[in-house]
Amino acid sequence: MEADVKTVRRRPRRRTIHIHITLIVICAVLCAPVVYALLGATQNNSQLLNFRLSPGEFLGDNFSVVWNDRDLWRYMLNSAVMSALIATGKAITGILAGLAFVYFRFPGRSIVFVLVLITLMMPTEVSILALFRIVDDLGMSDSLAGLTVPFLASATAAFLFRQHFANLPANLSEAAQLDGANPLQFLWRVLIPMSWNVTGALFVIQFLFGWNMYLWPLLSVSGSENQVVQVGLASLQAAGEGQSYGPLLMGALVASVPPILVFLALQRPFMTGFALTRDK
């Protein structure tokens, strides 16, 4: 920071004007799609077809079509529940796996570890058609279980906590054992309180992952009752007669509010999480 201050003082002020202008232009371009979407969400089809830059008066109508008639609230609720479950599940399974990998010694630990590691090279997407049949056979398709259970654990979560625990002082567990704590007590009293940072980071990343998940719900959910918002938006493409742009844009905006808020509010844990998974 000190260096920054010095440079500011030394440099003539006019040089930063260029930077400001460039940055403002870039920000404007990057924000344009959403600004346009805000505009479009207030207009009906004939206003959009005749192109005008002033807001229309259909904001309420479009919202009502999307929220009430097309059940966007239900898709949003489903998405929220699904994302929260996935994020929580990964945090819990990850903590447990981290505990096992770091504080236990057992024969074949490397083999187990490599088996977990290899799954990093096996994205769900490459076997998604088979996964669909399997989830079907287990009777879980088209349900909350089918949407969440396959994602309740991941190599990333296990590594994140393994790495985090490995970096904690080694004498922690020894001290705990001297106090007569069993592993679960150790986990509860020592590890978890020391892991809020990492847990929060993982939670943010996985919540965004869950909220933005598209392909799997597209394949595995067929009814509208359990559908999530990313797929449910498709039903807004024809919410009136012919293509309906206003409601579609409205839906896209409403569906983007939660992840953007979560992301902006929790940027720091998000970065921490990625930084941690990176040097696994």
Q: Which of residues 179-238 bind another protein (CB under 8 A)?
A: 183, 186, 196-197, 199-201, 203-204, 208, 211-212, 214-215, 218-220, 222-225, 230-231, 233-235, 237-238
Write the CB contacts of 214 (distance below 8 Å, at least 6 apart in sequence): 230, 231
Write the CB contacts of 111 (distance below 8 Å, at least 6 apart in sequence): none
| Separation between Cα atoms, residue 18 and residue 15, nearest integer Å | 6
Q: Which of residues 74-113 bind another protein (CB under 8 A)?
A: 80-81, 84-85, 87-88, 91-94, 96-97, 99-113
Burial letters for 46-66: b for 16+ Cβ neighbours within 10 Å, e otherwise? ebbeeeeeeebebeeebbebb
Based on the shown chain and the rule CB under 8 A, indicate whether residue 14 belongs to the binding site for another protein.
no
- Residue 187 per-residue DSSP state: I
Residues 186/124, Cβ–Cβ less than 8 Å: no
Q: How far is the CB of 60 from another protein (least distance, A)?
A: 19
Question: Pick from 84, 28, 88: which is nearest to 262 by CA?
Answer: 84
Q: How far is the CB of 42 from another protein (least distance, A)?
A: 13
Q: How far is the CB of 260 from another protein (least distance, A)?
A: 4
Question: Pick from 248, 280, 4, 239: which is nearest to 156 by CA?
Answer: 280
The token pair at 152 is: 């309740």
Binding mask 152-171 for another protein (x = CB under 8 A): xxxx-xx------xx-xxxx
Residue from 51, 54, 60, 180 binding another protein (CB under 8 A): 51
Q: How far is the CB of 124 from another protein (least distance, A)?
A: 7
Question: Pick from 249, 191, 204, 198: which is nearest to 66 by CA?
Answer: 249
Closest to another protein by CB, 60 or 260: 260
Based on the shown chain and the rule CB under 8 A, indicate whether residue 172 belongs to the binding site for another protein.
yes
Q: How far is the CB of 57 from another protein (least distance, A)?
A: 16
Binding mask 251-280 for another protein (x = CB under 8 A): -x--xx--xx-xxxxxx-x-x--xx--x-x
> How many Cβ atoms are within 10 Å of 102's Cβ, its own excluded?
18
Site residue total, another protein (CB under 8 A) = 153
Residue from 69, 179, 188, 189 binding another protein (CB under 8 A): 69
Q: Which of residues 108-147 bind another protein (CB under 8 A)?
A: 108-117, 119, 121-136, 139, 141-145
Q: How far is the CB of 230 from another protein (least distance, A)?
A: 5
Exposed, middle or buried by CB within 10 Å (0-12, 13-18, 19+), for 97? buried
Closest to another protein by CB, 60 or 108: 108
